[in-house]
């Protein structure tokens, strides 16, 4: 506690207008760290900001101390520049903390400040006064907001995909694929059959998560098929690693991949969730809410949700093992046993679509069991 207070006393403050000038004139020499959740960052953030990894799992294991390797996991270039002293300033912000005096000892800001002071040398560290809320209010042009998802189109001119048996103007086909990440899109078989739509979104590859939807444009786009059915007996998790590697290969070639099944509701959504959990180190609940905000009709069948839960525990176990092997692990104090004392428990997000069913347990009834396969 005492060490935290001394460090926080050394933390400087920065007004929003100063950060605006830095972003406009000298952005390469300052590092902006967003200390909010992955969901909040994805909804909107300050331009060029990096989202630190400090979710509940990291915080629980940290016991008051985290390392740069943890909070910047996956951002190797940023981490290397930071440790080499190539940034003249690091600016931290959360949602709306007004000043240094109101930063709590157990806050994410405090954990990050401690890590920065411990693992970097000579870099000035600042707290952005008022956080994202104030900065966005004053300088929205320097922020990136998630595009508002347009309402489903009611146009009747949408053609049906006869080879896939997709009904005309089906609710899961209207509008277009949704952007999950800049290189990752989620949609249906109908979307995968529309070359003009694919070209308009810059799609270069398609991940077909079905056994019966055709690849309409082989020779034009890169394809990969995962031949699974949407039923409770399928082991879709056995394909997670292969799917993630394919998505990464498209990303590394500066391409964009559309992940689709029949309806873009269950199978392809499951693959996108697995990718987010693995690459962004988020829990299933957070990944589910993130994807659902973009494509509200997603609803992996109950078996797939169970497999995603198992995958979550594997991802977390891998993260913990990597953390223990980290050179800075010795400085983080004693670790708790790697064997959890209680199983991971998933509580379904309250926004899960229940399709108007009055039963309070309606989420247990997947719409996939009574609608066309997805």
What are the CA-CA distances from residue 367 to residues 164, 201, 264, 266, 371 (Å)? Answer: 19, 29, 12, 9, 6
User: What secondary structure does DSSP assign to 16-59, as a single string?
Assistant: HHHHHHHHHH-GGGEEEEE-S-HHHHHHEEETT-EE----HHHH
DSSP category for residue 169: T
- Give 3-state DSSP helix, strand, coil % of the chain, rounded to 5: 45, 15, 45
Determine phi and psi for 73, rounding to 5 degrees. Answer: -60, 125
By the 10 Å C-beta count (0-12 exposed, 13-18 middle, 19+ buried), 327 is classed as exposed
Positive/negative CA dihedral, 40, 123, 69, 50: positive
Query: Which residues, other chains included, contact 129 with Cβ-Cβ below 8 Å and sequence gap of 6+?
Result: 13, 14, 15, 16, 98, 99
Q: How many CA atoms are closer than 13 Å to the CA of 291, on its beta-carbon side?
A: 32
Beta strand 124-128 pairing with 257-260: unpaired
- The answer to whether 112 and 71 have CB atoms below 8 angstroms apart is yes
Question: 112-135 in b/e burial notation, b at 16+ Cβ within 10 A?
Answer: bbbbbbbbbeebebbbbbbbbebb
Annotation marks residue 143 as catalytic: no
| SS3 state at 122 | coil
- The answer to whether 309 and 346 have CB atoms below 8 angstroms apart is yes
- The answer to whether 13 and 127 have CB atoms below 8 angstroms apart is yes
Set 225, 261, 272, 320: catalytic member: 261
Catalytic positions: 261
């Amino acid at each position: 506690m005492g060490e935290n207070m001394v460090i926080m006393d050394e933390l400087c403050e920065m007004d929003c207008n100063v950060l605006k000038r830095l972003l406009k004139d000298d952005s390469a020499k300052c590092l902006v760290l967003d200390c909010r959740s992955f969901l909040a960052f994805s909804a909107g953030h300050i331009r060029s900001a990096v989202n630190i990894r400090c979710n509940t799992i990291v915080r629980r294991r940290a016991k008051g101390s985290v390392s740069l390797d943890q909070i910047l996991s996956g951002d190797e270039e940023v981490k290397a520049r930071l440790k080499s002293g190539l940034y003249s300033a690091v600016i931290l912000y959360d949602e709306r903390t007004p000043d240094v005096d109101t930063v709590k000892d157990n806050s994410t800001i405090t954990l990050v400040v401690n890590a920065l002071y411990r693992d970097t040398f000579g870099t000035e560290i600042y707290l952005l006064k008022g956080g994202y809320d104030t900065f966005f209010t004053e300088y929205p042009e320097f922020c990136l907001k998630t595009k508002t998802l347009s309402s489903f189109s009611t146009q009747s001119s949408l053609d049906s995909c006869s080879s896939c048996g997709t009904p005309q103007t089906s609710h899961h086909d209207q509008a277009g694929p949704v952007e999950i990440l800049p290189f990752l899109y989620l949609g249906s078989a109908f979307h995968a059959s529309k070359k003009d739509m694919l070209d308009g979104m810059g799609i270069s590859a398609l991940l077909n998560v079905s056994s019966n939807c055709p690849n309409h444009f082989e020779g034009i786009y890169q394809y990969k098929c995962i031949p699974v059915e949407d039923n409770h007996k399928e082991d879709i998790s056995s394909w997670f690693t292969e799917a993630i590697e394919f998505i990464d290969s498209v990303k590394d070639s500066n391409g964009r991949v559309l992940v689709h099944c029949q309806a873009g509701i269950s199978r392809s959504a499951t693959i996108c969730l697995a990718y987010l959990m693995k690459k962004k180190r988020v829990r299933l609940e957070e990944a589910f809410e993130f994807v659902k905000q973009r494509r509200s009709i997603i609803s992996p069948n109950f078996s797939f949700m169970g497999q995603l839960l198992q995958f979550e525990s594997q991802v977390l176990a891998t993260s913990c093992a990597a953390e223990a092997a980290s050179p800075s692990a010795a400085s983080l104090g004693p670790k708790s046993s790697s064997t959890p004392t209680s199983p991971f428990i998933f509580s379904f997000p309250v926004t899960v679509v229940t399709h108007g069913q009055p039963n309070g347990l309606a989420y247990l009834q997947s719409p996939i069991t009574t609608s066309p396969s997805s």
